[in-house]
Chain A
Amino acid sequence: MTAPVLGSLTTEPVLRRPDLVAPAVLGALHSWEVDLDQVLVAEIDPDLADTAALSAAHHVPLSASANCVVVLGRREGVERLAGCVVLATTRADVNGLVKRTLDVRKCSFLAMDRAVAETGMEFGGITPVGLPTGWRTLVDAAVLDVPVVVVGSGLRRSKLVLPGAALAGLAGAQVLTGLGIPTTGA
């Protein structure tokens, strides 16, 4: 197998570098019915963990980068949490599709400190792989069409590189068309 090349990222199979993913992510890899040969990890400078910086430094197209944003809605006093996976060329339709899917009145981004505490992942490295149990995982259908996509690893010092379609196989993942609304300019 030849490792897919994405920009100037140097990838290795995650199997040989479990040190490059957060423990929560490693646990999820075990129970994820995926071909682990296709799940790669790239070590990066932690200062380049944010999508725009990574894209600029490593020539990773934004259309091959997926962000995972964590949203919070409430229904009858009960919190509903979800990770939304959208391409970096889009923004999650939080007040439309996400709100309707979670069946909540109001929906907003989860505060950074809570997101970090509850996922056990570093901010800037939050990934749909290994979200806490009870959370929903919403994936934009457009992400599945990307042959090789960069997502977080749970840590700022690395990224996962995998086929977009693999994300549909995450436990409890729900694929939604139109979850990401294209942004003009990036």
Chain B
Amino acid sequence: MPAPAPTAVWDGLAAGYRWQEPLEAASLRTLVRLALPRPHDVTVDLGCGPGTLTGRLAALPTWRRPRRLLAVDSSPAMLAVLRRREVLRAGWTAVRADVGALPLADASVDLVLCGWLLHVLGDGERHRTLCEVSRVLAPGGRVALAVPGRPRTPPGRALRSALARATTRHGSHALRQLPDLTRELAAAGLVQRVEHHTGCGYASRVVLAAGPVTTGRARSLLSITRSARDGGSQAAR
């Protein structure tokens, strides 16, 4: 097992996560605007946590709200908060699963939304997760991601260093930037299309990437991701 699953840390943070949701608001709003969800998009909220993004999606007008959504997180405490908040619409489900080993069939999803998840994963786990996203995306599918960006204002920088100090003892990666994200996406067969930056609250980088198109390429990826996934599920158990 490479690194201990961070579930315990996240379980401990679940009850108090609410205080920082306003800091994620601007980036998640941008994420949804870039993702442009359609009602018939089978959607995954990857690393849903206490339902910060799920709640935002639930509030969308019907012509923008996916009818089928799966919220996935590895922390039972986070999922418990999400359920208490009653953000799950009819046809929506929340499940506990390792984000690097999704309980979904190949090419079964149109849209993956991933808010503030990737930066807390280790390098190997992040690659596994991106490969999983690529595997579950149907042809024509897309993924929208929000990750920490470079703070451009003094309050933004102060916020980042305060949070870095507070979280280092947990061994987590608060507001860690991912300078190679575009390349990491490409390594998983995902093509970055557009990147927006937000500076309000946590400075963020919001990316929309398109999933694999050609079946040949998808197939070669599958063989890689299958072995990665098997390793991932063992680590989770």
Contacts and interface: CB of A to CB of B under 8 A. Distances in A.
A147 interface: no
A29 interface: yes
A166 to B, nearest CB: 13
B64 interface: yes
Interface string A11-26: 0010111110001001
A16 B140 contact: yes
Nearest to B192: A19
Given A30-B64, A33-B63, A37-B38, A16 B32 contact: no
A27 B196 CA distance: 12
B11 to A, nearest CB: 34
The winner among A15, A30, A33, A35 for most chain B CB atoms within 10 A is A15
A162 B152 CA distance: 38
Interface residues of A, number: 15
A184 B186 CA distance: 52
Interface in B28-59: 32-34, 36, 38
B194 interface: yes
A18 B34 contact: yes
A17 B193 contact: yes
Interface in A65-89: none
Interface of B: 32-34, 36, 38, 61, 63-64, 140, 142, 193-194, 196, 208, 210
